[in-house]
Amino acid sequence: MLVACLAVAQTPPEEDKSLAAPVFSFNPVQSEHEVAVGDQYFSQGNYTAAISRYDAATKWNDGNAVAWLRLAQAREKKSDPQAARVAYEKYLEIAPAGKDAAYVKRRLARLRAGLG
């Protein structure tokens, strides 16, 4: 009796495109979609998933001030004041006179004072 060995061709992990990190290019529509999905997660209290979506939104459109604001708020909910501060600062860089600028300045002042 002859036994045949079959070798299953497997792609090495470093060449498997399904495992590759996503490539982001400017896409404001996708950015807004990510914010909307992030808002759903945020409203459900799933701040980790919300952070993931808001972070993706900032990668699709680095100038999306709302995404930076929501990312900061979600990071505060996850007790990450340093990361929240960075996101709030990015919001002010993009929209220094934006409708939420006064709120962001107050939150930054509290975070800098260690009051959370």
Give the pLDDT confidence of 85-116 residue by residue, as tens digits. Answer: 999 999 999 999 999 999 999 999 999 998 87
Instruction: Give how far Cα 2 sits from Cα of 5, 9, 111, Å.
Output: 10, 22, 73
Helix (H, G, I), strand (E, B) or coil at 116: coil
Element (H, E) at 96: none
Residues 6+ apart with CB under 8 A from 88: 68, 69, 72, 104, 107, 108, 111
Residue-range domain boundaries for the chain = 24-112
User: What pLDDT, in 10s, does the model give residues 53-92?
Assistant: 999 999 999 999 999 999 999 999 999 999 999 999 999 9
- CA 75 remoteness from chain centre: 10
Look over the chain and give the mean of its residue pLDDT values, rounded to a whole number.
90
14 vs 22, higher pLDDT: 22
pLDDT above 90 (res 3):
no
Whether the full predicted model's pTM is greater than 0.85, yes or no, is: no
At the topology level of CATH, where does 24-112 sit? Answer: 1.25.40
